[in-house]
Structure 1
């Protein structure tokens, strides 16, 4: 079953990356991020990190506004954490909602 989680990016800063905690790996649970969704916004670049490794750096404006979903297959092991956010290359600092769809098996 696909579970969904939503977070706010928080207020964005001009020419800076703002990240928030999204999901952590837990003992006995095999989590895999399958989808990520957000509102396509000009001059915003989606960033996803698993621990210190950058997994995604994506120009959010290239997504289709009718179905703004990126398919992923990102395992999150025990003790690992995933952070998401945006690099903001414009003056607008409004927070953006980010949603992930993930599976979880024991």
Structure 2
């Protein structure tokens, strides 16, 4: 999650520098409710004392309103299309979410 958060911040700064307005907060979807709770809860507990610096960075971005974390079920993660074995129906559902189309839909045309 920390790598994606860093990429979000970098892309936002790049687009802002290029004059493209990007609304904040940037939404980051995760399927791990524990990670979301740790990143959004500013209170340190005995069980979370081992947390590394990158988690504090995510907490700061959430507190600043730069990033918003949201839960998404594992089945709806579009990344699973590229990283997991999925059924044919799930494949086409996720491909549709990514706006992927079959190549024959583009034939005949420029």
- Of structures 1 and 2, the one with the larger relative CO (CA 8 A, separation 6+) is 1
- Point out the structure with the larger helix share: 2
Report if TM-score (shorter chain) is over 0.5: no
Instruction: Name the larger-Rg structure.
Output: 2
TM-score w.r.t. structure 2 length?
Answer: 0.26
TM-score w.r.t. structure 1 length?
Answer: 0.27
